[in-house]
Structure 1
């Protein structure tokens, strides 16, 4: 772990950035007056339209990648938009195929299809280097995007990064349970985040996701990486972020652990930490440039 700095946030961490840019943000990012961006739809040949909201600005830009079955309307995504607008940096948030305001059916989606969505955003909807901010499954997708488009990635920020999650969770089930799921062709995954109380994953989704696993060996990513995780995350264990930190080849990797953090990391102080982390990255990247 020589490449990683592990910070336990039971210490005092949330301090105003040294250059003072974040000090006045809290009221706008965390429940005050918001500046709204309009929803646009990207038309792709033979593929569902992607819904996105974009703010023009300077580089590096910031792109938010939601979690599984989530959308671009969450607190973290909106707080990042307010933050980027306050600094004049470009920002984009979007919905994956089958999620939110984008076209498509969730049950037909695959991890590879969502990776294709992210690459389309990088190739067609933004310009210049980007900081990818991935929440949960979005953290897995940010790693896949950085591997596929390294020249377009300035830095990565993972929030409860769920690298390889569905695959490892399925393989950790008792063998008799796995056999029953394979016979039914569907895994009913209980979740408090679903309106129905569970998500239904078909075997095709699991088998396809297996081809995108990244934790089996070194991850050839060399940009700065920041990984924030809650020690009380009941869904994705915090040691997954530690594994990512160990495997990426970058020498600039920080793991930030929140003592009381849950999976979604959407409490006010969690959002502040995310914003401050990105603020420090932007300052570092622009200073280097």
Structure 2
């Protein structure tokens, strides 16, 4: 059953939690995705079968949570994640971050390391607003978003366009993790498909090189795309979680 958390920032966050043993597992979804995606539901089923605590949720402006997508930014969504983790879990958690959720998991690891027992990232996209969007915009696109505050981009995953706002870009610059020290003092398993057209494989290699920690591993899956949702990829995600838990 979907429950709701009213945060101190006035946002209403939809979530679903599965009781079970700790450390629990928290799934952090991607940009414009919600908690009903293939990976989130697969992990919830795995958690039920193995008796593991599990939490999935929608950022504000996503899914069943309050707010408009266009009004949100990385800082808001990281704040949403922290609020629901602090309110609805106990003790350290294993964070599983997909794409943008990978970036947010790194922000959480930096902000609340005492609540993180391990990290699994799937096509992690740290700093993508700057390294992906802004770096890839033409001069005309940069002018449009600076002048009007918004830019519409076609989406491969929806009929609706991605609306990229100036606020998203400007806030993203305040949330970067790749230009300052990034300590990950717990087991980290990074997963990346070589056929990912949204998050370059080089980003995974850059993150591996940049982060510091004694137990950080990167697995490249030849031919896997950004969805990372084939039966083999889903099995690899749970294997990675179990490795972190061990």
Per mean C-alpha deviation after superposition, the further-off stretch among 229-238 and 40-49 is: 40-49
How far residue 89 of structure 1 moved from its aligned partner, in angstroms, is 1.2
**CA distance in 1 between partners of 2:138 and 2:18 (Å):** 47
Query: What 5-or-longer segments of structure 2 have no aligned partner?
Result: none
Q: Structure 2 matches for 1:1-289, cutoff 5 A? A: 38-169=1-132, 170-196=134-160, 198-282=161-245, 284=246
When the two structures are aligned, how many residues end up with a matched partner?
A: 245
**CA distance in 2 between partners of 1:258 and 1:142 (Å):** 21
Query: What 5-or-longer segments of structure 1 have no aligned partner?
Result: 1-37, 285-289
**CA distance in 2 between partners of 1:250 and 1:189 (Å):** 37
Tell me how large the CA RMSD over aligned residues is. Answer: 1.4
The 1:252–1:44 alpha-carbon spacing in structure 2 relative to 1, beyond 3 Å, is same
> What SS is found at the alignment partner of 2:11?
strand
How far residue 128 of structure 1 moved from its aligned partner, in angstroms, is 1.2
Contact map agreement 1:98 1:105 (CA 8 A) in 2: yes
String of CA shifts for 1:129-177, please: whole Å, max 9, x gaps: 1000001000000000000000010011100101111211212434454
**CA distance in 1 between partners of 2:217 and 2:72 (Å):** 32
TM-score, normalised with respect to structure 2 = 0.95
Contact map agreement 1:222 1:248 (CA 8 A) in 2: no
**CA distance in 2 between partners of 1:117 and 1:46 (Å):** 9
How far residue 96 of structure 1 moved from its aligned partner, in angstroms, is 0.4
String of CA shifts for 1:167-211, please: whole Å, max 9, x gaps: 112124344542343233322222211222x20111111101111
**CA distance in 2 between partners of 1:176 and 1:42 (Å):** 41
> What SS is found at the alignment partner of 2:151?
strand
> What SS is found at the alignment partner of 2:31?
coil
**CA distance in 1 between partners of 2:166 and 2:83 (Å):** 26
**CA distance in 1 between partners of 2:162 and 2:117 (Å):** 34
> What SS is found at the alignment partner of 1:103?
coil
Contact map agreement 2:30 2:100 (CA 8 A) in 1: yes
If asked which structure has higher relative contact order (CA below 8 Å, sep 6+), I would say 1
String of CA shifts for 1:96-154, please: whole Å, max 9, x gaps: 01110111111111110001011112211100110000010000000000000000100
**CA distance in 2 between partners of 1:148 and 1:175 (Å):** 35
How far residue 47 of structure 1 moved from its aligned partner, in angstroms, is 1.2
Structure with higher Rg: it is: 1
